Amino acid sequence: MNISDLKGIGLTTEKYLNELGIITIEDLATYYPFKYEIIENTDLKTLKDGDKIIVGGIIENKPNVYHFNKKLNKMSFRLNTGDFIANITIFNRAFLKSKLDIGTVITVIGKYDQKHSQITANDIKFGLIEETIIEPIYHASFKINSSKISKIIKSSLNDFMVKETLPNYLKEKYKLMNKNKAIRIVHNPKTKKELTEALNTLKYEELFIYMLKIEYLKTLKTKENGLPRNVSYKQIEKFIESLPFKLTIDQLKAVNDIYDDLTGLNRMNRLLQGDVGSGKTIVAIISMYLNYLSGYQSALMSPTEILAIQHYNNIKKILPNLNIALLTGKLKAKEKKEIQKQIEEGQIDIVIGTHALISDNVIYKNLGLVITDEQHRFGVNQRSNLKNKGKSPDVLYMSATPIPRTYALTLYGDMDISSIKTMPSGRKPVKTYVKTENEIKDVLYMMLDEIKQNHQVYIVAPLIEESEKIDLENVYKLEEKFTKAFGKICKIGLLHGKMNGKEKETVMNDFKNGITKILISTTVIEVGVDVEKATMIVIFDSFRFGLSALHQLRGRVGRNALNSYCILISNKETKRLEILENTNDGFKVSEEDFKLRGGGEIFGVKQSGDMNFKLADIKNDYDLLLKTKEDAHEFIKNKEYLLKENEEIYKQIKKTVNLD
Ligand code: ADP
Ligand code: MG
């Protein structure tokens, strides 16, 4: 059922909600608040301007009413709270005047306005009321605000009927509620106690289902046979020796792990994690070469087209004798068909692309190895989709978001892990500075310095997730600003999400080839793009990003022996950002991010496929996560999912893991 079936949702509201990703009634039911405002009986002595308050007292004087017009009126009176006389103002309640005699006891709910030293009430209740008001706060947009969303959800609560998933024995074990009850409470809590219990239930469920998928994938892994391969390590060594640089020790270790996996008995399911610029790609290329030597096709999947193109060009150079194809969603239908035909007939050895690689139209002759770059951008669902493309291809996931090992082991429990911790030699750490907008002039001079040396600069425009239109406006504004400053000196490129693949490619190529010296972009540049002469990145409104995301963006520069700089411009949260001034180690940065923000937000800039829990937070709810891990393990081991009563949960696992 779609939200348009709900009473009171018109076309416009529907559109605004759709823009927030809310399409079905279930989407609405699970559009959880991201925080709560809790208002309790207030001590008036410690009030700050804007505080929300609930306070009881006795009316001191006859209320004064002022009528602005027929509809609009304002009423004021004094309220004696026992140790304080408060001036109360309330709008459009003139009809209450006759009941508000001197001496009447009431409770006022409102906001403290320091400037007028008064309380602006939005509600009056008769009598003294012990009350806690808990207001859910939702992620909103410029078109529809949180309180409107709350109103819509509250009036639809009766229409929310979701399927219960958790098995009864677990509900009993942890005293969890029914999901339907929990959902209603989360949107409309009356007490802190019930809210805590409801949140606990929903978080438990979220984590449990995630861990079930992991535990299930784990059982598959131990059962599956790998493909036969007959390649000696000598052959790989020879290839490594032919490369233009010496591999680092960690890169060699990773290659070893992968060699053992690929030539061993079981199917590979490995995560390769390493900081931006640590050199994961070459490890991937060596793996694909190994796979090619054993007679199989490889597929390399990238989250963005730009990255796919870069990999394509890069890999063609290193493996000139192989047949390598690029397959993206933006190809013309005819070109796509031709490439698909060649993949099916086995003429292509390596195919590189975006999501298009897992579309049903792509049939592989003998897919032996699947690699996903920037794994955190893909969900568990896509993981298994790719796996199922070949008979049982080996799988390598690459991630530039190093996460602390304990978390990695839990969250990627179905995978083996190789980590690249050392950077290739000869790299200089990126010098990072936090600057306020007032210091922009310094930044312009630094930029000028770089450009004079024929170096290049990335500018990242502020990201306002709520609205693409505003993102775009911001990019254009910056373009104007920088054209004024540098228009006579050099060319400036512009890159944003609304461009099509061809346009993006042209802009990116112009920058790579040094035709443009400055590239202004939204975060579409993302991770992984390689431009040799780029020595500076300036990130506006950087407080909007997690530290790990900023660290990844900063990885765009400092890819060689040149001095390079990252300027974080922000008028807020400078203390947090200064952490990046002090360290260039991605593992440290992600630890700090964990401490400060919790795990939910560390995985990249926008939604990450995996672990994007709606309520749970892998840091703050880590204990709960460990419990669900154990419970999920038992559940899978005992094959509880085969019981009739656990039908719904089985469906959910199946959807992800393709059990059929
Ligand atoms: P990431 O791990 O972020 O994907 P890349 O694989 O793109 O990093 O590597 C970043 C750059 O470092 C590339 O230009 C690559 O050619 C280079 N590189 C990789 N390994 C080494 C090495 N051992 N020595 C020198 N340069 C290397
Ligand atoms: Mg990369």
pLDDT tens-digit readout, 627-655: 999 999 999 888 888 888 888 888 877 77
CA-to-CA distance for 423 and 90, rounded, in angstroms? 64
**Residue 177 pLDDT:** 95
* Proximal ligand: closest to the CA of 554: 1
| Residue 529 Cα to ligand 2 middle (Å) | 7
Which of 649, 634, 595, 652 has the alpha carbon at shortest distance from 618? 595
Q: Do residue 276 and residue 336 come from a single domain?
A: yes
- Sequence-separated (6 or more) residues with CB below 8 Å from residue 586: 275, 276, 400, 401, 402, 548, 551
- Sequence-separated (6 or more) residues with CB below 8 Å from residue 629: 211, 214, 215, 410, 413
Q: Do residue 283 and residue 401 come from a single domain?
A: yes
Using CA positions, which residue lies closest to atom 1 of ligand 1? 277
Index of the ligand 1 atom closest to the CA of residue 555: 3
> What is the arithmetic mean of pLDDT over 360-387?
72
Tens digits of per-residue pLDDT, 92-126?
Answer: 999 999 999 999 999 999 998 888 888 999 889 99
Tens digits of per-residue pLDDT, 475-507?
Answer: 888 899 999 999 999 999 998 877 877 888 888
- Sequence-separated (6 or more) residues with CB below 8 Å from residue 514: 454, 456, 533
Which residues have C-beta atoms less than 6 Å from ligand 1? Answer: 245-248, 251, 274, 276-282, 400, 424, 528, 530, 559
CA-to-CA distance for 557 and 542, rounded, in angstroms? 17
Q: Do residue 444 and residue 568 come from a single domain?
A: yes
End of a domain among 400, 420, 440? Answer: 420
**Residue 527 pLDDT:** 46
Classify residue 83: in a domain, yes or no.
yes
Classify residue 193: in a domain, yes or no.
no
**Residue 607 pLDDT:** 33
Index of the ligand 1 atom closest to the CA of residue 420: 2
The torsion defined by the Cα of 227, 233, 239 and 243, in degrees rounded to 10, comes to: 110
| Residue 516 Cα to ligand 2 middle (Å) | 23
Q: Do residue 60 and residue 90 come from a single domain?
A: yes
The total of other beta-carbon atoms located within 10 Å of residue 566's CB is 26
Average pLDDT, the chain: 85
Q: What is the largest CA-CA distance in the chain?
A: 96
Q: Do residue 483 and residue 559 come from a single domain?
A: yes
215 close to 208: Cβ distance less than 8 angstroms: no
* Proximal ligand: closest to the CA of 300: 2
β-bridge partners, 136: 36
**Residue 341 pLDDT:** 95
Using CA positions, which residue lies closest to atom 13 of ligand 1? 279
Tens digits of per-residue pLDDT, 407-464?
Answer: 777 777 778 889 898 888 878 889 999 999 999 999 999 999 999 999 999 999 876 5
Tens digits of per-residue pLDDT, 50-105?
Answer: 888 898 999 999 999 999 998 899 999 999 988 788 899 999 999 999 999 999 99
**Residue 48: Cβ-neighbour burial (10 angstroms; 0-12, 13-18, 19+):** exposed
First-to-final CA distance of the chain:
26
Using CA positions, which residue lies closest to atom 20 of ligand 1? 279
Residues of the domain holding 375: 231-420
| Residue 245 Cα to ligand 1 middle (Å) | 9
Q: Do residue 411 and residue 454 come from a single domain?
A: no
- For tokens 């040799």, name the residue: 532
The pLDDT-based confidence of 612 (bands split at 50, 70, 90) is low
End of a domain among 420, 453, 484? Answer: 420
Classify residue 535: in a domain, yes or no.
yes
384 close to 224: Cβ distance less than 8 angstroms: no
| Residue 280 Cα to ligand 1 middle (Å) | 7
Classify residue 510: in a domain, yes or no.
yes
Residue 526 gets the label, from left (phi > 0), alpha (psi -120 to 50) or beta, of: left
Lowest mean pLDDT among 151-155, 168-172, 302-306: 302-306
End of a domain among 83, 112, 131? Answer: 131
Index of the ligand 1 atom closest to the CA of residue 274: 2
3-state secondary structure of 268: coil
Using CA positions, which residue lies closest to atom 26 of ligand 1? 424
Index of the ligand 1 atom closest to the CA of residue 426: 25
Q: 3-class secondary structure for 552-617?
A: HHHCCCCCCCCCCEEEEECCCCHHHHHHHHHCCCHHHHHHHHHHHHCHHHCCCCCCCCCCCCCCCC
CA-to-CA distance for 113 and 115, rounded, in angstroms? 6
pLDDT value at 377 more than 60: no
Structure token pair of residue 555 = 């990885």
The total of other beta-carbon atoms located within 10 Å of residue 109's CB is 19
User: How many domains does the chain contain in total?
Assistant: 3
Mutation probe of ligand 1 site: the residue of 240, 252, 278 with most atoms within 8 A of C-beta: 278
Classify residue 200: in a domain, yes or no.
no
Q: Do residue 346 and residue 449 come from a single domain?
A: no
CATH of the domain at 54: 2.40.50.140
Tens digits of per-residue pLDDT, 283-300?
Answer: 999 999 999 999 999 999
| Residue 132 Cα to ligand 2 middle (Å) | 50
Q: Do residue 529 and residue 549 come from a single domain?
A: yes
290 close to 240: Cβ distance less than 8 angstroms: no
- Sequence-separated (6 or more) residues with CB below 8 Å from residue 625: 207, 211, 410, 616, 618
DSSP H or E stretch at residue 299: strand 297-301
Classify residue 155: in a domain, yes or no.
no
> What is the arithmetic mean of pLDDT over 590-606?
53
DSSP H or E stretch at residue 236: helix 233-241
Q: Do residue 402 and residue 260 come from a single domain?
A: yes
> What is the arithmetic mean of pLDDT over 190-202?
93
The pLDDT-based confidence of 599 (bands split at 50, 70, 90) is very low
Mutation probe of ligand 1 site: the residue of 273, 275, 281 with most atoms within 8 A of C-beta: 281
CATH of the domain at 451: 3.40.50.300
Classify residue 480: in a domain, yes or no.
yes
Structure token pair of residue 74 = 């304002």
* Proximal ligand: closest to the CA of 308: 2
pTM over 0.75: no
Using CA positions, which residue lies closest to atom 22 of ligand 1? 424
Q: Do residue 119 and residue 71 come from a single domain?
A: yes
| Residue 373 Cα to ligand 2 middle (Å) | 7
Classify residue 364: in a domain, yes or no.
yes
| Residue 275 Cα to ligand 1 middle (Å) | 10
Residue 80 gets the label, from left (phi > 0), alpha (psi -120 to 50) or beta, of: beta
The pLDDT-based confidence of 620 (bands split at 50, 70, 90) is confident
CA-to-CA distance for 211 and 487, rounded, in angstroms? 53
Q: Do residue 396 and residue 333 come from a single domain?
A: yes
CA-to-CA distance for 547 and 594, rounded, in angstroms? 9
Angle, vertex CA 286, rays to CA 283 and CA 288, nearest 5: 110
188 close to 157: Cβ distance less than 8 angstroms: yes
Q: Do residue 329 and residue 407 come from a single domain?
A: yes
**DSSP assignment string, 27-59:** HHHT---SEEEEEEB--GGG--TT-EEEEEEEE
| Residue 496 Cα to ligand 2 middle (Å) | 20
Residue 222 to residues 56, 384, 414, Cα–Cα distance (Å)? 65, 15, 10
Query: Where is pLDDT greater, at 637 or 325?
Result: 325
| AA letter at 660 | D
**DSSP assignment string, 327-374:** E-TTS-HHHHHHHHHHHHHT--SEEEESGGGGSTT---SSEEEEEESS
